[in-house]
Amino acid sequence: CREGLRMRHLVWFSCGAASAVTAKLAVEKYPHTAEILYCDTLAYEHYDNARFMSDVSRWSGEKSRF
C-alpha cells in the first residue's frame, strides 16, 4: 500500500443471499477496511429488497453505501 493510502476491501452487495454472506464474511475478516457497496436499483427491484438490505446491514454490522 502506498504511503498515505489505506487498504480497502470492497464487497458488491446485490440484495441476494450469496452477496449477503460474502459481506458478512468480509466484515468479519477485515473489520476496519471492509466496505459494502450497493448500486441503487431499488426502484426497479422487488419491494422487499429494502428490508433485506436493512436486515443485512444490522447482521453484518456494516452499513451499505450507495
pTM of the model: 0.75
Task: Output the average pLDDT for the chain.
Answer: 85
Tell me: pLDDT of 66 over 50.
no
66 DSSP assignment: -
Of the ranges 2-6, 22-26, 48-52, which one carries the lowest mean pLDDT score? 2-6
| Percent of the chain scoring above 70 in pLDDT | 91
pLDDT in tens, 26-48: 999 999 999 999 877 767 888 88
